[in-house]
Homo-oligomer: A and B are copies of this chain.
Amino acid sequence: MKATVYVTIKQNVLDPQGSAVQGALHSMGFDEVGKVRIGKYLELDMNTTDRAAAEERLKAMCEKLLANTVIEDYRFELEG
């Protein structure tokens, strides 16, 4: 089973990395770019076939390691 996890910074938290990329894009002439937000994208192979259990385990992984839930949101998708 393949899992895809998206970790994004919460809307009301500053994203300095995104601001830096926005500034760089502007200085390169891409003036149409507005706000930029940067997050993480993870692909995990999971050796399990039980979808409900996998969702439970993935949630635990996100809460404990993959996302800092104070400042970040996460969501995931399961395939296969």
Contact = CB atoms under 8 A, between A and B. Distances in A.
Contacts of A64: 28
- Interface residues on chain A, size class: 20 to 34
**Identical chains in the assembly:** 2
Contacts of A40: 38-41
A1 to B, nearest CB: 9
A24 to B, nearest CB: 6
Contacts of A6: 41
A71 interface: no
A43 interface: yes
Interface of A: 6-8, 18, 21, 24-25, 28, 30, 32-48, 54, 57, 60-61, 64-66
